[in-house]
Structure 1
Amino acid sequence: MKAKFTGHDTFPLRYGWLFKAVNHLNSNGKFSSSDEDSIRQSIVELGVGKNMVKAIQYWAEASNVIHSERSNNSFTHAVSQNGEYLFGGESLEDGRDPYLELPGSIWLVHFWLNFNVEHLTAYRYFFNFANVQHFEKTKLIADCFEDAKKLVDSELGNISTIKKDIDCFLNTYSKKLKATPSKKSINIDEDHFISPLSELNLIQDNGGGFYISNLSERPELPIEIFTYALLEFFKTETVDSKVSTVDFDSLLSKPCSPGRIFRLSESGLGQKLDEVQNFTDKNISWVDSLGLRQVNVSDYAKTNSTLYLNQYYGTKND
């Protein structure tokens, strides 16, 4: 993995940013860090400052809705298949949910953002490698710094860089609390209620630098999104196309697994797999007997993760 603890200029992901990025490229706009004309054009078209343009580009790349391509010894950006799927191609009508109005779309963006073993960030460290449910921010910063030394094979930078990335990650995923004037109660600070990912309630700010992120059953996670994530993970686990099983424990705790990314408890994963059996007409099934816990994936399911996802959006085309 390569370290990537910078790029967002400490701006958390905001509502509308991913759509802005995709729409900008679909309208023949460009993202560039060196071409002054392109930068000025992006500032005008996106209606934000230079640093925020960089942040929009960062989050769109991180969630894999846009990607960079090498062309004529330089890099250009294009809308990815994920970006076209959710936010649309040349027409917004092509996008399943360009304004993230459905809760499942936010779960999907969360999965795309963390389903990555190429670059290590604070949020990918937390969702894929950290083993905490109650934590203090200062301890998480120290743990991330020490573990990153073992996980990455590039220049890590100093701990202050990781601290800024942890701050941005927590502001992206949790609703900021503030004390009322009476100091007898704590309310949500609406100024920080700006990130769609905070809606998932995966991390709660407990005040005083302490946070909670319990493993749970996640009944609010749509089964279509979970099924898609399971199949995408299955592809990475089984290089041999003849393999049709994946271990329950791998689904629960391996980096980039749905259990990890969605913060599922052991019983929660079992319940989701029970739902998946019914949802897929047993094209995905599992056994839990005599110490054997294994998930079976049919040949049909292996190649149709997007078709299952389409059922959430009520579409049949892939």
Structure 2
Amino acid sequence: MDKLLHFDYLRLIINNLLNVKEFLRFSGHETFHCKEQWLTKGVQLFDNKEVDAFNDDIFSITELGVGKNMVKSIHHWLKAFGWINSDGAITLIARKIIENDIFLENESSIWLLQYHLCKDEYASIYKIIFLDYFADKVTQEFSEKSVINYINRRLLQNGTKSVSENTLSSDFNVFIKTYVAPVKNIKTVEDDFNAPLLQLNLISKTNRRNESGELVYKINLGEQSSISPYLFMYFICDSFENETVINLDSIRKILGSYLCLTLDSLENLISQICTLDNRFVYKDDAGIKQLQIKTNTPDFKQDLLSSIYEN
């Protein structure tokens, strides 16, 4: 038996014995990637009706001016970006962005979208590709089939029901449209070039194909100079909620992956926040690199969220 398959089989047995289940979602977008205006329109829809507007098909279709499938997609993206919580209510992060940047013109707002899309894990493929898939790889390149194969192994290891190839392929294509600008033509100019995360340039085509003839994409690690210290402080406190001592490796693995930061740029941001606010202290003792936070409470995190736009 192939070693990898043997390992997957053992993991499946162990997970079943321990009843370990991981819920992964690869649908709900109705094959539409998110458009810039959808998020604010979705919140406005909620505000125009006392009960959940998305449960009223006639009202939501009329108010949004789109078809039923697109209404479902807008609802999906509101959840995926963390603008609606599990109780169906508009979140503080959504209110804060709309209050300060309703047209998503501030790049900090776009970074908040990217962070919560990965961290909240409502749409599973985003955390999977940015973090999990590359956990044991040197290269930053990937293709559709390599990602789908990884997801199928993950489902097998978890002992959960398999997902159809068509569903996974559709989800991957929506993922790519979220980050990679299409070739300009009359059809795509209006529809595809207003996806909010395009401007971050986190993923690009390599203009190469692999041995299977598939397009190869790559993660664009970089300095990400548009991430302000206050924004990074918020990411730290939100990712490591209630923690006061955090290993650099944990920050690199999580935030470095979500934000596509090089190690040098990550350490530079840590240096900036420690210089700016003495509640953050970086320690490098005997090769053990840690970030200490003197205050890491929900109130402090909300203050940081306000500071992102005030500064």
Partner SS, residue 96 of structure 1? helix
The match for 2:74 is 56
The match for 1:143 is 150
Question: Deviation string for 1:225-254 (max 9, x for gaps)?
Answer: 211011111117x3xxxxx2110001111x
Contact 2:82–2:94 (CA under 8 A) maintained in structure 1: yes
The match for 2:220 is 214
Contact 2:204–2:218 (CA under 8 A) maintained in structure 1: yes
What is the identity, as a one-letter code, of the residue corresponding to 1:312?
I
Answer yes or no: is 1:168 the counterpart of 2:174. Answer: yes
The match for 1:72 is none
Distance 1:169 1:113 in 2: 11
Identity of aligned residues (%): 26
Partner SS, residue 115 of structure 1? helix
Distance 1:234 1:213 in 2: 24
Distance 1:213 1:84 in 2: 30
The alignment yields a C-alpha RMSD, in angstroms, of 2.2
The match for 1:83 is 94
The match for 2:237 is 231
1:134 to 141, 159, 162: 141
What is the identity, as a one-letter code, of the residue corresponding to 2:90?
V
2:38 to 8, 17, 21: 17
What is the identity, as a one-letter code, of the residue corresponding to 1:30?
D
TM-score by length of 2: 0.81
The match for 1:304 is 300
Higher helix share: 2
Deviation at 1:50, TM superposition (A): 0.7
What is the identity, as a one-letter code, of the residue corresponding to 1:60?
L
What is the identity, as a one-letter code, of the residue corresponding to 2:131?
N
Compared with structure 1, are the counterparts of its residues 83 and 154 closer, same or farther at alpha carbon in structure 2 (3 Å cutoff)?
farther
1:270 to 258, 262, 267: 267
Deviation at 1:22, TM superposition (A): 0.7
Distance 1:148 1:259 in 2: 25
Distance 1:145 1:197 in 2: 27
Question: Deviation string for 1:256-313 (max 9, x for gaps)?
Answer: x212210112212111101111222x21121234311010001267741221222221
The match for 2:3 is none
Partner SS, residue 64 of structure 1? coil
2:256 to 253, 259, 265: 259
TM-score by length of 1: 0.80
The match for 2:23 is 2
Contact 2:39–2:78 (CA under 8 A) maintained in structure 1: yes
Compared with structure 1, are the counterparts of its residues 67 and 217 closer, same or farther at alpha carbon in structure 2 (3 Å cutoff)?
same
Answer yes or no: is 1:99 the counterpart of 2:103. Answer: yes
Partner SS, residue 212 of structure 1? strand
Compared with structure 1, are the counterparts of its residues 148 and 221 closer, same or farther at alpha carbon in structure 2 (3 Å cutoff)?
farther
Deviation at 1:164, TM superposition (A): 0.9
Higher strand share: 1
Greater alpha carbon shift after TM alignment, 201-210 vs 101-110? 201-210
Contact 2:201–2:220 (CA under 8 A) maintained in structure 1: no
The match for 2:4 is none
Question: Deviation string for 1:62-115 (max 9, x for gaps)?
Answer: 11111343xxxxxxx32122222222xxxxxxx121221101101011111111
Contact 2:114–2:197 (CA under 8 A) maintained in structure 1: yes
Partner SS, residue 70 of structure 2? helix
Contact 1:7–1:55 (CA under 8 A) maintained in structure 2: yes
Aligned length: 276
Distance 1:138 1:177 in 2: 22
